[in-house]
Copies of this chain bind each other. A is one copy, B any other.
Amino acid sequence: MFKFHMPTKVIAGQGCVLENQGELILGKHALIVTGKSSGKKSGALDDVIFVLENNKIPYHVYDKVENNPEINDMALGGKFARECGCDFIIAIGGGSPLDASKAIAVYAANEPKENSGFELYDIFKGNYKNKPLPMVAIPTTAGTGSEVTPYSILTLHNEKTKKSFTCVDSFFKTAFLDGRYTLNLPLQVARNTAVDAMCHLIEGYTNKKASPSSDYMVLEGLKIIGKNLDKLENGNFDTDSCTELLWASTLGGIVISQTGTTIVHSMGYQLTYFKDIPHGMANGYLLCEYLKRADKVRVANCLDALGLSSLDKLLAYLEKILPRVADFTENELVEWSNISIKARNVASCPYPVTQDLEIEIYKNSLL
């Protein structure tokens, strides 16, 4: 038995926001959710504001989304949307603003209150009453895949980790992929996010839930990334290669919408939470050690699609493009494994995962 579901419409190519204005406008008053700088620097915010003004649609901007959005801030975003009278959301940015939008859309339509039946943390139970605001997404990094997933990854200080809520109402209505918006990313950000996309694809393919509806997408996505390995090393991007990488990232998002991720992601969250290591970089540190234990044929298919002849070659490539930005102690790794072993996606791993194995993977990857 396998399933496939991805209701988001994808529109890809240079100028896609300006050329598909009607698809951007889902209501009468827009909330633009974006990071402090990604919306402006990418050029996407200018295009969106041009379209809204051109169509006489009032809007408010909520640009208080930090990296790795924290759940209280999302509730504030929802309050802001309610107070401004916004009835749809345009999310612009990397994974954080996109994921944040999904939570803000829920909180905007459902005010969290103590003893009201819907409190702040109830978002993870999905027991809100009103439909979240409808949303469109404009990614400004090529990695998250959030534009086509029902997942929103939020930071929880009380659990010292990141945790996702998932609901079918959290699919964006439309995702706009324009390589112009990622062309001027700092090279290290482009690398980290591409590695995140690579991990989504590979984790989807080596996952217990891998199926005929996702496997061929993985290999297509990895071929696109493989074609661009040199550009990711050297930074010589053009708009076309950036749109290609956005499409590969979207394929990764479609894949994990079907399969979920693996321990690469759940173990990586601690590196981000405790050491502020960018999400894709954290995954990249752990990927090869995870793959050493996975099905040999499946690993070989991934490497083949990437155009790499061995797992060592992938490791060497990742070490080259992902510098070490923090030191780790054995104690930290043991402590983190206490958290990561509780993650849901441990069960999706293709081999049995114990806490000892997680410690071993952490150590071999990081010490």
Contact B2 A13 (CB under 8 A): yes
Q: Given A12-B213, A216-B220, A220-B216: A6 and B6 within 8 A (CB)?
A: yes
A244 neighbours in B (Cβ, 8 Å): 212
Chain A 12-53 per-residue mask, 1 if CB under 8 angstroms from chain B, else 0 = 111110010000000000000000000000000000000000
Q: Give A262 to B310 CA distance when docked, in angstroms.
A: 43
How distant is A367 from chain B, measured CB to nearest CB, in Å? Answer: 40
Alpha-carbon separation in the docked complex, A19 to B2 (Å): 12
Complex contact A12–B2 (CB within 8 A): yes
A187 contacts chain B at the CB level, 8 A cutoff: no
> CB of A3 within 8 A of chain B?
yes
Taking CB atoms and an 8 Å cut-off, the chain A residues in 207-236 that contact chain B are 212-213, 216-217, 220
Tell me if A12 and B19 are in contact (CB < 8 A). Answer: no
How many monomers of this chain does the complex have?
2
The reply to whether B1 and A15 contact each other, CB–CB distance below 8 Å, is: yes
Given the known inter-chain contacts A220-B216, A247-B212, please indicate yes or no for A5 contacting B15, CB distance below 8 A.
Answer: no
- In the bound complex, residues from chain B placing their C-beta under 8 Å from that of A10 are 3-5, 213
Known: A216-B220, A220-B216. A5 touches B1 (CB 8 A): no
Given contacts A1-B11, A3-B11, A216-B216, 7 further A-B contacts (CB under 8 A): A1-B12, A1-B16, A2-B13, A3-B9, A4-B10, A212-B247, A216-B217
Chain A to chain B contacts (Cβ below 8 Å), 10 pairs:
A1-B14, A1-B19, A3-B9, A3-B12, A4-B9, A4-B10, A5-B9, A6-B6, A12-B212, A216-B216
